[in-house]
Amino acid sequence: MAATTTAPQAPEQAGPPATPRLSLQCEAVAADTTAIRSLDWDRSRFDIEFGLRNGTTYNSFLVRGERTALIDTSHLKFADTWLPLLREQIDPQAIDFLIVSHTEPDHSGLIGHLLDLNPEIEIVASKVAIQFLEDQVHRPFRSRAVKSGEELDLGTNPDSGVAHRFAFLSAPNLHWPDTIFSFDHGTGILYTCDAFGLHYCSDDLFDVDPGAIAPDFRFYYECLMGPNARSVLQALKRMEGLPAVTTIAVGHGPLLRHHLNLWVEDYRTWSSERSTGEAYAAVCYVSQYGFCDRLSQAIARGIQKAGAAVQLVDLRATDAQELSALVGEASAVVVPTWPASPDAELQASIGTLLAALKPKQWVACYDAFGGNDEPIDTVAGQLRALGQKSAFEPLRIREVPQTGDYQRCEEAGTDLGQLLTKAKTIAAMKALDGDLDKALGRLSGGLYVVTARQSDGEGGTRSSAMVASWVSQASFDPPGITVAVAKDRAIEALMQVGDRFVLNILREDNHQQLLRHFLRRFPPGADRFAGVSTLEGVAEGGPVLGDALAYLGCRVAQRLEGPDHWIIYAVVEQGNVADTQAHTAVHHRKVGNHY
């Protein structure tokens, strides 16, 4: 059996065509069970601005017993094709139940349309999901709130003789607070929506080629599930109480059937590694309020990059006991601005949050940009009054968040993660044998500055830079190099497979000023190139430094994960030398356990 890769990256794909390709797939997956998959071949971004290389799918399912249930709908962009295809399968008025796994728009975008066709359909979902839907569809509807241990019996299909009885499992924070899993005892299929999914678009209905989809499976976990590792483990415990699961029917990507144990054990291993006995940061948010969800995820992702554990905590949906435990046991707590006039339930959660804070914790806050926020200085003042240590300056969002705002949040999270892992880092440095340490330090390398800049396609850009000395030519044909990039470097997010960057080679007789500039610690979101001479438009991947000896324009072809660095292999596509008589600056270290 093929093993999943350890690299959370998406494989290379050429840029999207001008007109995105959208198609549908409708196939039987088990007795009386049909999958309707919306294939979005060219989607290039998702959620918190992380890039997709292989598109995505939005999966829904039709299950027929004596009565019929539809599990999830699709993205609004498929309204003109998904609804006619559904009508080919069944008269919408004959659908008795709509099971809503969670209410994120890519799965619930057509619920309003379905209610137009069948106002009597009963929506079955978690209590939180039903509350969210009331605000989303703006009309009354029949509903049934369910939680772990409750069931929905569709009865026995008269043609197949299979009895379809659904058991529900609460799975909050995977990755929204309203998520439920649904298990059909008749077929052994577990419907998990986002959990165990991956953004991968192909005609393969099932996981027939684990090697092909493994990088996307890991990348998806890192981006969406990793910040909720503790919640993942709780969901896995609930799954252990089910009879044998034959298939995990995910909301994105191919259904998992042929290598089921592999994917489940990956989730268990990755989540255990993030959750066992480590100091962690609790990043709080208010679900469906402003841009709180996405901003909190960007902060959480930055914390993870520094090797620290993190747990996202929804102030609206987490019960008081769990909220108090998650906040009280955390080494750091990040809170959003909340509505100036919160409802009674949210107000109680805010009180629980503030009461659970401990004197030695790091704390910080960020703007939710919800339109009716409590001023961020008021929230920061409340935290200061409790005597906590400030992890980073308040993150002020003054307009609809752009790419740069998400970058600033991610970098602030990385700074916090480095605070949490500082003791571990120092201990690791001291653990290396003295002679070995000195011997490793005798490895020399050149001095370079890696620069990268990317457009988000909507007028925003994200850029970064770093000093590098672990650079080497790695191939002749095609010409290629490797660059070692520490996992907590901000630029790492701009060096995924398919991304372009520039390697600026510093010159021996004129590199000190550039070195001092790029070695200094930049505040989150700061412009790395302010005050530096750059040549724009010379290379596609990023700025060329005006005082560099030479530059290489590179495209990332592969990434190899090391314990604390990514080894980036890149194909060199262009380059030039400013002075053929000058020499490359060389870096000589004395020790081998830090730069």
Over the stretch 459-485, which tens digit does the pLDDT of each residue have?
Answer: 678 899 999 999 999 999 999 999 999
Residue of 35 and 430 predicted with greater confidence: 35
Q: SS3 of 45, please?
A: strand
Residue 430 covered by a domain: no
- pLDDT score of 127 more than 60: yes
Do residue 446 and residue 506 come from a single domain? yes
pLDDT band at 224 (very low <50, low <70, confident <90, very high): confident
Q: Using pLDDT thresholds of 50, 70 and 90, give the confidence band for residue 429.
A: low
Q: Would 489 be classed as within a structural domain?
A: yes
Q: Are residues 301 and 405 in the same domain?
A: yes
Using one digit for the tens of pLDDT, what is the confidence trace for 480-506? 999 999 988 989 889 988 899 999 999
Contact 105, 56 (CB under 8 A): no
Q: How far is CA 387 from CA 355, 382, 412, in A?
A: 12, 9, 21
What is the model's pLDDT at position 590?
A: 73
In a domain, 594, yes or no: no
pLDDT at 22 (0 to 100): 93
Pair 446, 560: CB distance under 8 Å: no
pLDDT confidence of residue 6: 34
The predicted pLDDT at position 11 comes to 40
Domain co-membership, 190 together with 239:
yes
For residue 401, give the CATH number of its domain: 3.40.50.360
Span 252-261, pLDDT tens digits: 999 999 999 9
In the three-class reduction of DSSP (H, G, I as helix; E, B as strand; rest coil), residue 221 is classed as: helix
Q: Which of 94-108, 158-172, 451-465, 564-578 has the lowest mean pLDDT?
A: 451-465
> Region 263-278: what's the mean pLDDT?
87
The two counts, helices (H) then strands (E), for the chain are: 15, 30
pLDDT at 321: 86
Examine the domain organization and report whether 515 and 456 are in the same domain.
yes
Report which of residues 430 and 493 the model is more confident about: 493
Is residue 145 a part of any domain in this protein?
A: yes
Residue 171 lies in a domain: yes
Paired with 206 in beta bridges are 255
**9-50 pLDDT per residue, tens:** 444 444 444 566 899 999 999 999 999 999 998 877 665 556
The one-letter amino acid code at 52 reads: L
Whole-number Å distance between alpha carbons of 250 and 190? 8
For the chain, give the number of residues: 595
The DSSP bridge partners found for residue 437 are: none
**Token digits for 473?**
């030519």
512's enclosing H/E stretch is helix 512-519
What was the pLDDT predicted at 322? 82
In this predicted structure, what is the pLDDT of residue 320?
A: 87
Cα–Cα distance list, 494 to 3, 186, 539 (Å): 26, 46, 15
CATH at 444: 2.30.110.10
At residue 500, φ and ψ (nearest 5 deg) are -115, 150
Cβ(110)–Cβ(74) below 8 Å = yes
Question: For the chain, what is the domain count?
Answer: 3
Q: Are residues 222 and 325 in the same domain?
A: no
Residue 264 has pLDDT above 50, yes or no: yes
Q: What residues contact 269, with CB distance under 8 A and at least 6 apart? A: none
Same domain, 300 and 248: no
Is the pLDDT assigned to residue 143 strictly greater than 80?
yes
Q: What is the mean pLDDT of residues 231-235?
A: 89
Of 179-183, 278-282, 324-328, the range with the lowest mean pLDDT is 278-282
Residue type (1 letter), 226 = G
325 and 397 together in one domain? yes
**Mean per-residue pLDDT over the chain, rounded:** 89
Do residue 268 and residue 281 come from a single domain? no
- Identify the pLDDT of residue 2: 35
- The share of the chain scoring above pLDDT 90, in percent, equals 64
Is the pLDDT at 7 greater than 60? The verdict is no
Q: How confident is the model at residue 227 (pLDDT cuts 50, 70, 90)?
A: confident
Domain of 307, in residue numbers: 277-424
- Do residues 229 and 345 both lie within one domain? no
**pLDDT(100) > 50:** yes
Of 243, 274, 305, the last residue of a domain is 274
Are 219 and 360 contained in the same domain? no
Q: pLDDT category, 427, cuts 50, 70, 90?
A: low
For the stretch 401-415, pLDDT in tens is 988 899 999 999 999
Flag whether 12 is in a domain: no
Contact in structure between 467 and 518 (CB atoms under 8 Å): yes
CB 133 within 8 A of CB 103: yes
Side by side, which strands form the sheet with 163-170? 151-156, 163-170, 180-184, 189-193, 247-250
The single-letter DSSP state of residue 223 is I
Sheet holding 362-366, edge to edge: 309-314, 280-285, 332-336, 362-366, 389-390
Residue 2 lies in a domain: no
| Confidence grade of residue 569 (pLDDT, cut at 50, 70, 90) | very high
Residues 515, 545 contacting (CB under 8 angstroms) = no
Task: Return the higher-pLDDT residue of 591 and 514.
Answer: 514
Q: How far apart are the first and last CA of the chain?
A: 40
In the predicted structure, residue 229 carries a pLDDT above the cut 80: yes
End-of-domain residue from the set 274, 301, 326: 274
In this prediction, residues 216-238 reach a mean pLDDT of 89
Domain at 235, CATH number:
3.60.15.10
Same domain, 137 and 226: yes
Of the candidates 389, 424, 459, which is a domain's last residue?
424
Residue 594 has pLDDT above 80, yes or no: no
Q: Is residue 13 part of a domain?
A: no
- Residue 242's closest CA among 174, 127, 165, 177? 165
Tell me if 547 sits within 8 A of 533, measured CB to CB. yes
Residues 392 and 445 reside in one and the same domain: no
